Amino acid sequence: MSTLDPRFVAMLEPFLPFAAGEPITEESDLRELGLDSMQAIELMFAVEDTFAVVLPDDALTEHTFATAGSLWQVVSRAMGDSVVTS
Amino acid sequence: MTARPEVTALVERVCAVAAGHVDKTDDLASFPVEALDELRVTGLLGLLVDRAHGGLGGNLRDVLAASIQLGRVDMSLAMIFAMHCQQVAAVVGYAEPKLADELLPEIAAGRVYLASVTTEAGKGGHLLSSETELGVAAGELTIDRFAPIVTGGAVADGFLVTMRSPGARSANQVSLVYAHRDQLEVTASGDWQPMGMRASHSLALRLTGRVPEHQVLGGQGGFRQIALQTFAPLAHLGWSACWLGTATGALSRVLRMLRSPTGRGSADLDSELLLTRLSTARQRVDTVHALLWHTADVVESAPELSVPRVQLLLNALKITAAEQCYQAVEALIDAVGLRHGYLRGSVTGLERAHRDLRSAALNYSNDRLHLADGKLALLDPDVHLV
């Protein structure tokens, strides 16, 4: 069952050419669906533009980009941090 | 940085054999089979294999020190050794117990020299993708794979092959499979006539055959993890060690020649130009040496290798070593001139070192790494140095 923010899903879709219209859930494997490591910076820009947060470089690990759920977890944590600090 | 004395002594035996054949293998562009035999009998093919499986129980530092030592004599041989150790590290780290128990004792006994099959026509050296899918038939995996360049492919006893996972949706889902030579039909093609690295004898290979499922390393689709944790770090560290060895050996031979009674008679050791060139060459190898061991420290201690700062450091090592080792030898050629810098047969060996090291920037191209590094740099706007 997906608990992903619809804005997050819409943001991800252009990066996943092999999703072929199937619903993106927390378990969706981003590499399998075609996320290319050379696109990481474009993906970060999309996160910043959509959610107004910057992900710390410590968070930019292989695990973060493994699934839609793992990336969403890092984004939502950064949003929580920014709420607390702003 | 010194290796364990017992390992150094074993590598010295290989260096002695290599020294007797290096002119021939370079001339003929042939594989250094005599030196490989010595790697087998000394147990050095099993340097990274644990003692329980009959190996020497060495570690990353032993591999790097041995690669430097071999690189002083023959850069092709050093690269052959370093890349074999990279393959062994993948087996040690990711083989199922059944495969580990079958294969590691064979490596330790010197019966298995491993070659790497990661190149593929049309993918331009993109390590993490593959266009050729692993088949599944009657509970076995079927391999039908062409690779345009496989170092040591004609003599290797086993191969680690990257292939697209069965049923994969994208080229990013890649598996690493071990195949023993007798499980495959191996057809070599093409000719090997390069400028340098001539003894690395790299050919195009077509591999077809079947292997049992337990010969997949790290599970189906597991190659990305193996590449990030083992293959890429060991490749950049290992290659850099070989290049450092070659530049260091060249510098050493030049200095010995200049200090010899005849050298002192023929060279002006007060020449400011000569002294500056010697200093520059020494400075370059010291820089690479420091960066190599620092990067090894980081790889051994970093909790996470995939963060941008660690990836940037690893790539920086490779790019820096490729540039600086080559330039050190260039400076030495200018320092000693035509007779000892440009002609074959000089005791300095600069002509071969120069040809060999010219490949360093092309071997997993520096240009490509700079593009990746530019992107990685943008991911770390605070510039965390490690």
Contact B379 A36 (CB under 8 A): no
A49: closest CA of chain B, how far (Å): 15
Single-letter amino acid, residue B240:
S
pLDDT tens-digit readout, B71-104 = 999 999 999 999 999 999 999 999 999 999 999 9
Interface probe for A, chosen from B375, B380, B384 (most Cβ of A below 10 Å), is B375
How far apart (Å, rounded) are the C-alpha atoms in residues B14 and B383? Answer: 43
* Helix, strand, or coil (residue B271): coil
The string over B228-243, giving b where at least 16 C-beta atoms fall within 10 Å of a residue's C-beta and e elsewhere, is: bbbbbbbbbbbbbbbb
Helix count and strand count (H, E) for chain B: 12, 8
Nearest to A57 among B221, B372, B384 (CB): B384
Over the stretch B273-320, which tens digit does the pLDDT of each residue have? 999 999 999 999 999 999 999 999 999 999 999 999 999 999 999 999
Q: How many Å lie between the alpha carbon of A4 and the closest alpha carbon of chain B?
A: 23
A56 CA to chain B: closest CA distance, Å? 8
pLDDT tens, residue order, chain B (386 aa) = 557 889 999 999 999 999 999 999 999 999 999 999 999 999 999 999 999 999 999 999 999 999 999 999 999 999 999 999 999 999 999 999 999 999 999 999 999 999 999 988 876 667 788 889 999 988 899 999 999 999 999 999 999 999 999 988 888 889 999 999 999 999 999 899 999 999 999 999 999 999 999 999 999 999 999 999 999 999 999 999 999 999 999 999 999 999 998 888 788 899 999 999 999 999 999 999 999 999 999 999 999 999 999 999 999 999 999 999 999 999 999 999 999 999 999 999 999 999 999 999 999 899 999 999 999 999 998 999 99
pTM of the model: 0.94
Nearest CA in chain A to B383: A57
* Chain B residues 132-171 with CB within 8 Å of chain A: 168-170
**B chain contacts of residue A32, beta-carbon cutoff 8 Å:** 168-170, 172-173, 221
> Which of A17, A18, A41 lies closest to B375 in CB terms?
A41
Question: Closest to A41 (Cβ–Cβ): which among B225, B378, B382?
Answer: B378
B378 touching A (Cβ < 8 Å): yes
Task: Specify the length of chain B in residues.
Answer: 386
Instruction: Render the burial of B340-353: b for 16+ CB within 10 Å, e for the rest.
Output: bbeeeebebbbbbb
Question: Could you tell me if A22 lies within 8 Å of chain B, comparing CB atoms?
Answer: no
Pair type for strands B114-117 and B158-164:
parallel
Give, for B189, the enclosing helix (H) or strand (E). Answer: strand B184-189
Cβ B44 vs Cβ B77: under 8 Å: no
What are B211's strand-pairing partners? B141
Q: Is A61 on the interface with B (CB under 8 A)?
A: yes
Q: How many CA atoms lie within 13 Å of B309's alpha carbon, on the beta-carbon side? A: 15
Helical (H) or strand (E) element with B241: helix B232-259
A66 touches chain B (CB under 8 A): no
ipTM entry: 0.84
B222 and chain A in contact, CB less than 8 A: no
Q: Provide, as residue numbers in chain B, all residues whose Cβ is less than 8 Å from the Cβ of A74.
A: none
A45 contacts in chain B (CB < 8 Å): none
Distance CA B222, CA B128 (A): 11
Residue of B nearest to A19 (CA): B169
> CA A53, CA A72: separation in Å to the nearest integer?
12
Angle B375-B302-B68 from CA coordinates, rounded to 5°: 90
3-class secondary-structure state, position B365: coil
Q: Do A32 and B172 touch (CB under 8 A)?
A: yes
Q: Which residues of B touch A58 (CB under 8 A)?
A: 307
- Measured between CA atoms, how close is A81 to chain B, in angstroms? 18
